[in-house]
Amino acid sequence: MRVAILSRNKGLHSVSRLLDEAKKARIHCDVINPLECQLVVDGRKSCILVGAVELPKYNAVIPRIGASITDYGLAVVRQFETLGVYAVNGAQSIAQSRDKLRSLQVLSRAGLRVPKTVLTRSTRGGLREVVERLEGLPVVLKVLQGTQGLGVMLVHSAVSLGSVLETLHGLEQEVLVQQFLAEGAGRDYRVFVVGEKVIAAMMRTAPKGEFRTNIHRGGQGTLVRLPKSYERAAVRATKILGLQIAGVDLMETPRGPALIEVNSSPGFEGIERATGLNIAAAIMKHVRACTK
C-alpha cells in the first residue's frame, strides 16, 4: 500500500507522527511538497510531476495543506482525485471548510447551532443594527482566512468596531462579526473526528488575560469526557462538510453546544499530549480501511 502526504514541511509534528505510524503499519508513505507538483492534464496521460519525475500510483493521499497555499494545494488534491486516488479529505470539502462564512452557512442550514454571524462591508452606518443582531457588545471579529487564532479579535465598543473594520477592509480583508458567547468565554472543546467517529477530545482553556483558546496562542488542553450531544454535533458537522478527518471546535451555550469552526487539516500534537491517545494511528487505520 502506498500513501502520499501533501505537506511543505516533513518535520511538522503531525507529518512525523503519520510517518511513524505508517512505518509501524507497514504502509509505504511519501511526503510530497504540493508546491513542487506540476499537474499535467492530457487525457489518459494525465499525471503529476515533481521535477522531471512522474509520481507513482498511490492508493490514498492525506492533504496537510496550509492556508497560505490553499488554492494551489487544492489543485493538487483535485489532480490526485482525477487520477483515481482516494483523498482522505477531498478538495471540495477542504475548500468549503476553509471558507469560514460558507461553512457556517452550510452548517446553519442543516440545523446545527452556530454563533450569530454577520459579514459586512460597513464601517460606520449600520453597525448599530449589526451589534443589536449579535445581542450587543462585545463582539468577535474574524478575518475569513485566519488560522490558529490569528486574525481573531474581541471588540468592546462601537467606535473600536468601526475603526478596526475600516483598517481591515483597507487591507483587503473580509471580516466576520460574531456574537460573543459569554457562557463559554475563555474555554472551548476541540474534538478530533476520524471516519465519523470521535477519536479524542480535550477542553482548551485560554491563558490569563486572553479569550482565544488556541494551543498556538498559549491555550492549555486537558482530557475531557464529552457529553453525547457534543459528540453528535462534531460528527454531524464533519459529515455535512464532507470531511473524513476534522478538528471540530465547540463552545457551551445555554441551549447546547455551538459550532465555532471545523478544521480540515487539524494539528494533533496538543490533543495527543493532553489525552495520551494515538491520533496518527487512528488516521492510518482509517486510510487502510478505506482503500481495501
Proportion of the chain above pLDDT 90, given as a percent: 85
At 236, the pLDDT band (50, 70, 90 cuts) reads very high
Average pLDDT over residues 265-286: 96
User: In this structure, what DSSP letter does residue 197 have?
Assistant: E
Whether residue 224 sits in one domain with residue 82: no
* Domain termination residue (choose one: 74, 89, 104): 89
Q: How far apart are CA 94 and CA 282, in angstroms?
A: 20
CA distance readout (Å), 178 to 101, 112, 242: 11, 16, 24
Flag whether pLDDT at 125 surpasses 70.
Answer: yes
Whether residue 191 sits in one domain with residue 277: yes
Whether residue 198 sits in one domain with residue 103: yes
Whether residue 168 sits in one domain with residue 261: no
Residue 2 phi/psi, 5° resolution?
Answer: -125, 125
Q: How far apart are CA 108 and CA 237, in angstroms?
A: 10
CA distance readout (Å), 141 to 146, 250, 263: 11, 17, 18
User: In this structure, what DSSP letter does residue 150 have?
Assistant: T
Q: What is the 3-state secondary structure (H, E, C) of 129-198?
A: HHHHHCCCCCEEEEECCCCCCCCEEEECCHHHHHHHHHHHHHCCCCEEEEECCHHHCCEEEEEEEECCEE
What pLDDT does 149 receive? Answer: 59
Flag whether pLDDT at 111 surpasses 80.
Answer: yes
Q: Which three cell numbers stand for residue 194?
A: 476520524
Whether residue 133 sits in one domain with residue 84: no
Check residues 209 and 262 and name the one with the higher pLDDT: 262
Helix (DSSP H) and strand (DSSP E) numbers for the chain: 9, 16
Q: What is the mean pLDDT of the chain?
A: 94
What pLDDT does 182 receive? Answer: 85
Average pLDDT over residues 225-234: 96
CATH code of the domain covering residue 35: 3.40.50.20
What pLDDT does 148 receive? Answer: 62
Q: Are 270 and 218 in contact (CB under 8 A)?
A: no
pLDDT tens for 29-38 read 999 999 999 9
User: Lowest mean pLDDT: which of 7-21, 29-43, 74-88, 176-190?
Assistant: 176-190
* Domain termination residue (choose one: 137, 154, 180): 180
Q: How far apart are CA 72 and CA 65, in angstroms?
A: 9
Sheet holding 117-119, edge to edge: 117-119, 175-179, 139-143, 152-155
Whether residue 275 sits in one domain with residue 225: yes
CATH code of the domain covering residue 168: 3.30.1490.20
User: Lowest mean pLDDT: which of 33-47, 75-89, 116-130, 162-176?
Assistant: 116-130
Flag whether pLDDT at 216 surpasses 70.
Answer: no
What pLDDT does 208 receive? Answer: 81
The parent domain of residue 17 ranges over: 2-89
Whether residue 253 sits in one domain with residue 108: yes
Whether residue 167 sits in one domain with residue 222: no
Whether residue 212 sits in one domain with residue 105: yes
Q: What is the total residue count of the chain?
A: 292
What pLDDT does 219 receive? Answer: 84
The structural domain count of the chain equals: 3
Q: How far apart are CA 197 and CA 201, in angstroms?
A: 11
Residue 265 phi/psi, 5° resolution?
Answer: -135, 60
pLDDT tens for 156-215 read 999 999 999 999 999 999 999 999 998 777 899 999 999 999 999 999 998 887 777 777
Q: Which sign, positive or negative, has the C-alpha torsion 236, 267, 56, 75?
A: positive
Whether residue 235 sits in one domain with residue 105: yes
What pLDDT does 185 receive? Answer: 77
What pLDDT does 217 receive? Answer: 65
* Domain termination residue (choose one: 180, 201, 224): 180
What pLDDT does 126 receive? Answer: 83
Proportion of the chain above pLDDT 70, given as a percent: 98
Whether residue 156 sits in one domain with residue 85: no
Average pLDDT over residues 11-27: 97
Whether residue 266 sits in one domain with residue 191: yes
User: Lowest mean pLDDT: which of 119-123, 134-138, 188-192, 207-211?
Assistant: 207-211
Residue 288 phi/psi, 5° resolution?
Answer: -60, -45
What pLDDT does 212 receive? Answer: 79
